[in-house]
Amino acid sequence: MEEISRMPLIGEKFPDMEVQTTHGKMKLPDAFKGKWFVLFSHPADFTPVCTTEFVAFQHRYEKFRELGAELIGLSIDQVFSHMKWAEWIKENIKIDGKPVEIKFPIIADDTGRVAEKLGIIHPAKGTNTVRAVFIVDPKGIMRAMLYYPQELGRNMDEILRMIEALKISDENGVAMPANWPNNEIVGDHVIVPPPGSEEEARKRLEDAKKGKHECFDWWLCHRKI
């Protein structure tokens, strides 16, 4: 039976692939084994919105690395175009008087092979890649996916928030509320997963009385990390 090729989904392993980048050839996800990484696609080099995005990613690169995460970009341009574009950014863009040097690798996917494998060319939006973001954990598992149209630039602080939240969730067995850490009803608290039985529900409320967490009801409890 012929294998059906499709884009990877949340909870599945990031597909094995060898890619050509501005830092040389890399094997994914093995190149980032033991680390989180963010693979983000952009429609094309030397375009206005993409330039603002690359500058924004680079400006926060150290914040990503502090979270144990690496960045890697991608578009269907050739590696020479990526290199020239990064050079143009360094020569023409400054933040606080300092030139912006793109330090993370950029995948050259001029054949479209990687883009097809990741499902980031959407025909109704043209032949370039959409603005996709894939957050991959240290075990090479897809943890989150975001898609933006070409006309909308991304919010890099939200991507940082997602990585931090996913790490806290993994380490503490909790869930994260909307707009964490500034949720409208629980502030910077995290959500205690709902109980799976009547006995657990009763214990949840008893634990709340002991100060282990706070509850609006047995199914909506929260606590400080």
Note the pLDDT tens digit of each residue in 3-28: 445 778 999 999 999 999 999 999 99
Q: Which of 19, 28, 39, 50 is catalytic?
A: 50
Tens-digit pLDDT profile for residues 163-218: 999 999 999 999 999 999 999 999 999 999 999 999 999 999 999 999 999 999 99
Cβ burial, residue 134 (10 Å; 0-12/13-18/19+): buried
* Ramachandran sector of residue 176 (left: φ over 0; alpha: ψ -120 to 50; beta: rest): beta
State which of 98, 124, 154 marks the end of a domain: 154
Residue ending a domain, among 93, 125, 154, is 154
Give per-residue pLDDT as tens, 89-119. Answer: 999 999 999 999 999 999 999 888 998 899 8
What is the rounded CA–CA span in Å between residue 108 and residue 120? Answer: 14
- Domain match, 135 and 177 both: no
Q: What is the pTM of this model?
A: 0.93
Q: Which range marks the domain in which residue 81 is found?
A: 17-154
Say if residue 133 is in the same domain as residue 191.
Answer: no
Distance CA 76, CA 42 (A): 9
Q: Is 50 annotated as catalytic?
A: yes
- Say if CB 175 and CB 191 are below 8 A apart: yes
Domain CATH code at residue 29? 3.40.30.10
Q: What is the total count of domains within the chain?
A: 2
